């Protein structure tokens, strides 16, 4: 892991691919896209829990809706209030 991290940093390679980390991007507070996730653990209008390589990610908000879901990427829309890493 350490070696990969050093190499990714030295060669300026994208870390989410080298280290298999999730890439989370926000558009304002109404859209969150999570790339490189492992799976959905819980899905509801108030809470979405997503498993990633660095732990469970919990999104809290109102009217959450899963806009897209594919093997690489998921997009959640709604009014996001919190984003936490559990564990």
Partner 1 sequence: MALWYYLCGYVRIRAKGFSAERFMNMAAFRGVYLWDVTQTGATMTMKAAGSSMDILEACAEKTGCTIEVLGWGGLPAFLGRFRRRQVWAAGLLLFAAGLYLLSSFIWMVEVEGNERLGEEEILSFCGEMGLKPGAWKRNVDTEAITNKLLENFSDISWVSVGIRGTDATVKLAETIEKVELVDQETPCDIIASADGVILQITAERGTPLVAAGDVVQKGDVLISSELTIGLEGEAQRTEYTGAEGAVTARIWQRLSEEIPLRYEEVLYSGVEKENHSLILSEKELDFIHPSGDEEWEKTVLEETPLALGDFTLPIKWKKEIWKACETVEKERTVEEAKALLEENLRKKAENLLSAYGKIENIEIKFEEYADCVRAEAEVTMAERIEEKRLRAKEKERENADGI
Report if residue 67 touches partner 1, rule: CB under 8 A: yes
Q: Which is nearer to partner 1, 15 or 49 (CB)?
A: 49
Strand partners, 25: 33
Residue 75, CA distances (Å) to 22, 50, 72 in order: 13, 11, 10
CB 23 within 8 A of CB 36: yes
Distance CA 77, CA 34 (A): 11
Report if residue 21 touches partner 1, rule: CB under 8 A: no
> Shortest distance, CB of residue 43 to partner 1, whole angstroms?
5
Report if residue 41 touches partner 1, rule: CB under 8 A: yes
Report if residue 65 touches partner 1, rule: CB under 8 A: yes
Report if residue 74 touches partner 1, rule: CB under 8 A: yes
**Which DSSP letter does residue 53 get?**
T
Selected range binding partner 1 among 6-14, 17-25, 67-75, 79-87, rule: CB under 8 A: 67-75
């Amino acid at each position: 892991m350490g070696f990969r991290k050093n190499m990714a940093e030295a060669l300026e390679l994208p870390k989410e691919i080298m280290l298999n980390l999730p890439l989370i991007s926000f558009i304002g507070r109404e859209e969150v896209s999570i790339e490189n996730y492992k799976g959905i653990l819980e899905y509801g209008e108030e809470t979405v829990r997503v498993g990633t390589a660095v732990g469970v990610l919990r999104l809290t908000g109102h009217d959450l809706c899963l806009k897209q879901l594919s093997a690489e990427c998921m997009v959640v829309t709604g009014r996001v209030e919190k984003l936490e890493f559990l564990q």
